[in-house]
Amino acid sequence: MATEPIRLGIAGAGRMGLAIINAVNEFADLDISSVWVRDPDAAADMATPSGAIISSELDHVVEAADVVIDFSLFEATEQVAAAVSRHSKPLVCGVSGLADAQLAALENAAQAVPVVYDRNMSQGVAVLQELVGRAARSLGDEFAIEIHETHHVHKKDAPSGTALKLGESVASARNQEGADSVHYQSERRGEVPRDHEVIFSSPTERLTLGHSVTTRTVFAEGALRAARWISGRQPGLYDMHDVLFGENTD
């Protein structure tokens, strides 16, 4: 007997929220149940995807869902975390630029429900992170490490969150408390979505591991895979590495 699709509540109807709504058609076991928009006028004007509830009431959106995906704004993270805790619904959060207060809210929610939070929802970046850790362990301290990242001119922070995440993988592999041995190089030009390269260099050889993104769809696909993975999971704070490399992965 066919199982019912997992119902997804989308917190945020910005570019990433719409990308998820468009990408979900490729996942037969996922469906959009509800979408949260913070502006009541926008809720009235927005076209309903696949018969979903469009509401400015967050509790209505969360209650109608099996899993909530949050790509709204960091200002709303604490509100979303509190709502999924109240309704005991798993959360996938891909909001960038979170401060300590928002991270603490996710950690608190993860005590009651499963939460996947990652600064980069790309499946390819999760694989790159795994490869970087393996390379750093295998090659040792004799190899200098540089992380080069290129983003569009609108991105303000540098190095990017993904570059720092890759540096953390190096530090963990080398049993270091921080990635002080890693040199970062950031470039902002044009409309390049995201490019990351990790370069291992010795006096005699050079190894480059890289990842490029040309469309936001990859982040939507990663979030949807995370939503499928987290359904029925035990409470805890997870990331995309867990989704791809943890126990009982797809």
Neighbours of 242 (CB within 10 A): 20
Kindly name the residue from 60, 87, 155, 241 that is annotated as catalytic. 155
Please indicate whether residue 152 is annotated as part of the active site: no
Token pair of 237 as six digits? 């704070």
The total number of residues shown for the chain amounts to 250
Kindly name the residue from 89, 151, 196, 211 that is annotated as catalytic. 151
**Rounded CA separation 32/50 (Å):** 7
Looking from the CA of 99 toward its CB, the CA atoms found within 13 Å total 6
Please indicate whether residue 151 is annotated as part of the active site: yes
Neighbours of 32 (CB within 10 A): 23
Nearest Cα to 132, choosing from 172, 175, 181, 183? 172
Edge-to-edge strand ranges of the sheet holding 6-11: 53-55, 30-36, 6-11, 67-70, 91-93, 114-117, 236-238
Catalytic residues: 151, 155
